[in-house]
Amino acid sequence: MPTTEEIVPSSVRAGNADEQPSHSRENNDEKPSKSVLVPDNSPGQKGVNSSKRGERNPLNIAATLGALSACAFWLSGLAAACAFWLSGLAAACAFWLSGLAAACADAAPPARAARMLYASPRAPVEARVDDLLRRLTPPEKLTLLAEDSIFSPLTLQMPPIPRLNIPVMHVTDSSQGLRGATSTAFPVESVMAATWNPALIGQVGASVGQEAKAYGNQLVYGPCVNIHRSPQDGRNFESFSEDPFLTARLGVRYIQGMQSQGVAACVKHFACNNQETFRHFVSVHVDDRSLHEIYLPAFQAAAQEAHAWSLMTALNQINGVYAAESRPLLTGLLKQRWGWDGAVFGDWGAIHDAVAAANAGTDIEVPKPMVFTTAALGAALKSGAVTQTVVDGKVRRILRLMVRTGLLDGSPPPGLAAVNSPAHQALARKVAQQGIVLLKNANGLLPLDRAKLKSIAVIGPNAADTQLGGRWSADVHPAYQVGVLDGIRKHVTGAVTVGFAQGCPRTLPGTPAALAEAAALAAKSDVAVVVVGMDNNYEGEELDPPNLNLPGDQDKLIQAIAAANKNTIVVLNNGTSVLMKAWLTQVSGLVDMGYAGQEMGNALADILFGDINPSGRLPDTLAARREDYSDWENYPGRKGIVRYAEGVYVGYRHFNHAQVLPLFPFGFGLSYTTFQYRGLRVPARLARAGVATVRVRVKNTGTRAGDEVVQLYVGAVAPNVDRPVRELKGFRRISLRPGEETLVSFTLNARAFSYWDSARQGWRAEPGRYSVELGSSSRDMHAAGQVVLQ
Ligand code: BGC
C-alpha cells in the first residue's frame, strides 16, 4: 500500500471556497460545523416597506387589537398553560412564564412588530432568526413544526403566527413546472439532463422559481437528484441521470437558479429513493462506498455548493432505518459533516416514529403533521424523549427558511406576468431542442427535406395526444401544449400532406382494423413518424411500469408501419427506458424525445426538418435486454429488502465493468454534423493538492453548425481497490460553425481521482497512473492521455 495516499479533506471535497464560518447558535445536539450566511442583498431580503406590512396581511387583524388586548388574551391562556405545566417540573413552569412575558411584550400591532429586529430585512439572517426564536413561546414553536397545515392535494400552507406577524408559508410541488396551477411545462428532469447544459438548466430553475413566486409560494418541492439505478423506476423522468457527476452539476445550477428568485428549493428524496415499488417500506441495503460514490454526491453538492435551503427525506429505509429517522444520515452527515443549515422535510409517510424522527434530524413533516404532531412532540418534550434544545434547533431551521425566502418581509407576490411568459415558452422550446436525442439516422433520412417531401404520416397513440409526464407530484398543467402532430403541421406548408392515424391505444390491445388503417396511411406517405410511449397512468409516483416493453400493441404497430414504409422514424415519448429489439433494425430513424414539455412538438419538428441540429446526449444507458441492466437480479427486492449488490457498478459503470454491449451508451447522441478531436494536453504529473488542466481542440468537420458535448472520463489504471473502468468527471457543451475549431479546457482536482475509503470515512486519491479520455459518449473516445498522481 503506498504511503502517500491522501484522505481528501472536506473543504477539498466540497470545493466551496465561498462558504462562511459558522455564526450559528445551533443547539448542542446538532453542532453544525459550518453555517451559511445569505448576504443582506439576497433576493429574500429585498423590497420591503414595513409600514405597509399590516395592510397586506389579513392576519394582522388580531395583532391590531393592540398590546393590551393581546396581553389579556395571553393572560387568559396563562391559567390553562400553568395548570398543564405546573403538573410538570418547576423549571418548565418558569420557562413558560418567561415565554408568556415574551408573548405579552411581543403582542404588538404591525407598526411595532416592524421595529423588531427579526422584521428588519436589512438585518443579517442569523440575527433575525435569533431574535424571532427568542420571542416564540414553547407552544408557538411546536405550531411552527407541527401545527396542522392547510393542505390541498396541490399545495401546502404552513400555519401563520399572527401575534408575531408571521404569515402563512406557501409551498408547491414539482421541478419542471408547478403542480396545481397553470404554469409553463418545461421538459422533465431526464430531458433537462439530456441537454448536458447546466447553465440552461439554471435558467429553468430560475423560471420555475419566478412562476412559483408569482403565485405567492416560498418553496418548491424539487428538484429530485436521485440516481437512476433501475431503468424501471417510474419516477426516473423526475430526476436527472444514472451518473452522480452529471446529476450534481445540473442539480446545483437548478437550485441556484430557483433560489436566486428568493424561492427555496427542497431537494429530494434523501436518500436512495430509486424505485417506486414498495417505496413506503423497502429497505435499501447498500454498502457505504456505493452510498458515498453514487447516491450521495448530488445531495452533497446541493447542500454545500448550491446551499439548498431545504431538503426532503426519502420514504424508504436505508440499511434497516427509515431515512427520516436516520440520525447518522440527517444529523451526522448532512447537518454536521456537510455543515448544512437548511430545513429537513419528512416526505409524506416517511415518519413512523415522531421521537425517532425528531432526534434524527427531521424538522417538519410533509404535507401535514400525521405522526410528527404537536401532541406527539409535546408529549416527547414532557417525558424528556426530545429536548427543548432539539426543538429549538428545528425551529431555527424553519425560521431561517422563512427569513431567506422573504416571507417576513411583507412583499406581495409580484403578479402573474412571469407565468407562461413568452420568455418561458422560448426557454421550454430551447431546453427541448437541446434535450431531444437522435439515436438512429439510417441513410441520412434526417433531416427531412421540405422541398422534396409531399406527404408525412404521423401515427401512434402519443402523436396527437403527446404526453407531458408521469403521475402525481410532477403533474403540470400548461396553458397550451404543442403535441407532435401539431408541431409537424406547423412546420410544413400546404404542399405537404400530413395524415394522422392513432394505430392502437396506448396501453390496451388494439384492433386489426386500426392497425391496417395506420399501415395503409404509412404505405402511401413519403415518411412515417410513429410516436409511441407511456402516460401518467402507466408510470410515475408509486407506479413502476411492470416491465420495459412498450405498453399495449405499440411494438406491433411499429413493426406494421416499418413493413409498410422504409422511411419510418420512431419517436419515444416516455420516462422509463424501453426495449427496442422487436423493431429497432426495421426502422430508419429513432428519436428519444422523452417528456419534453409544452413546446415538445415544435422542438421535435425543428429537429426533424433540420431547423435545429440535434445535440441531446443520453443521460442513461439504454440496454438491448432487461437482464443487461445491473439491477436485474435485485429489483424490486424480496421480503422488503432490495440489495444494491452491484455496488458502484450502476449505469455505464456496470456495462463497462461487465463488458456488456449497451444498445445506446450513456452520453450518446447523433448530430447532423461531425466533430474531430485533436491536440489533447494532459499534464504528465499532478501533485495531490494540485489542479490538472486538460485541454483538447474540437473542430466541426461537417457542413452544418452544431453543438458537441465533450465528455471527460477518468479511470485508475492499476488501482488497489476495484474501480470502474472510467467515470465522468467533466463535460462541456460547445457550439461550432462548419469548419470552426475551439479549445476546450477542463480542470481536475483530487476528488476527480478519488474513491470513498469506508475504513477511513473519507475520499482517497491513490497515487498512481490514471487515464484521462475525451469523447462523445461513455463508449466513444476520441482522445486519450494519462496522468500520474503523486
Ligand atoms: C412525494 C414527494 C412530494 C410530496 C408532496 C410525496 O408523495 O414523494 O415527492 O413532494 O408527496 O406532494
Number of Cβ atoms within 10 Å of the Cβ of 495: 10
**Residue in 347, 364, 475, 543 to alter for ligand 1 test, most ligand atoms within 8 A of Cβ:** 347
Beta bridge partners of 755: 764
- The answer to whether 591 and 438 are in contact (CB under 8 A) is yes
Burial of 21 (0-12, 13-18, 19+ CB in 10 A): exposed
- The answer for residues whose C-beta is within 8 angstroms of residue 644's C-beta and 6 or more apart is 229, 272, 284, 285, 286, 287, 290, 634
**Closest residue by CA, ligand 1 atom 7:** 348
| Nearest atom (ligand 1) to Cα of 153 | 12
Residues of the chain with pLDDT under 50: 1-105, 108-109
Peptide bond just before 187 cis, omega within 30 deg: no
Q: How far apart are CA 55 and CA 57, in angstroms?
A: 6
The tens digit of pLDDT for each residue in 65-76 reads 333 333 333 333
Q: What separation in Å is there between the alpha carbon of 360 and the centre of ligand 1?
A: 20
Largest CA distance in the chain: 90
Q: How far apart are CA 644 and CA 437, in angstroms?
A: 29
**Residue in 278, 348, 476 to alter for ligand 1 test, most ligand atoms within 8 A of Cβ:** 348
**Closest residue by CA, ligand 1 atom 10:** 221
Residue 1 CA: distances (Å) to CA of 4, 81, 719, 760, 766: 9, 65, 10, 14, 9
Note the pLDDT of residue 410: 86
Alpha helices in 119-243 (DSSP H): 125-135, 138-146, 189-194, 198-214
Note the pLDDT of residue 17: 27
Q: What separation in Å is there between the alpha carbon of 443 and the centre of ligand 1?
A: 46
- Cβ < 6 A, ligand 1 pocket: 173, 221, 268, 347-348, 366-367, 473, 541
Q: What separation in Å is there between the alpha carbon of 563 and the centre of ligand 1?
A: 44
Note the pLDDT of residue 114: 59
Q: How far apart are CA 541 and CA 555, in angstroms?
A: 25
The tens digit of pLDDT for each residue in 330-384 reads 999 999 999 999 999 999 999 999 999 999 999 999 888 899 999 999 999 999 9
Note the pLDDT of residue 43: 27
Q: What separation in Å is there between the alpha carbon of 736 and the centre of ligand 1?
A: 41
| Nearest atom (ligand 1) to Cα of 179 | 12
Note the pLDDT of residue 34: 28
| Nearest atom (ligand 1) to Cα of 221 | 10
| Nearest atom (ligand 1) to Cα of 224 | 9
Q: How far apart are CA 141 and CA 395, in angstroms?
A: 6
**Residue in 472, 475, 542 to alter for ligand 1 test, most ligand atoms within 8 A of Cβ:** 472
Note the pLDDT of residue 559: 98
Q: What separation in Å is there between the alpha carbon of 719 and the centre of ligand 1?
A: 41
Q: How far apart are CA 634 and CA 581, in angstroms?
A: 23
- The answer to whether 575 and 548 are in contact (CB under 8 A) is no
**Closest residue by CA, ligand 1 atom 6:** 348
**Residues catalogued as catalytic:** 347
The single-letter DSSP state of residue 586 is G
Q: What separation in Å is there between the alpha carbon of 630 and the centre of ligand 1?
A: 27
**Closest residue by CA, ligand 1 atom 9:** 473
Note the pLDDT of residue 154: 56
Number of Cβ atoms within 10 Å of the Cβ of 745: 11
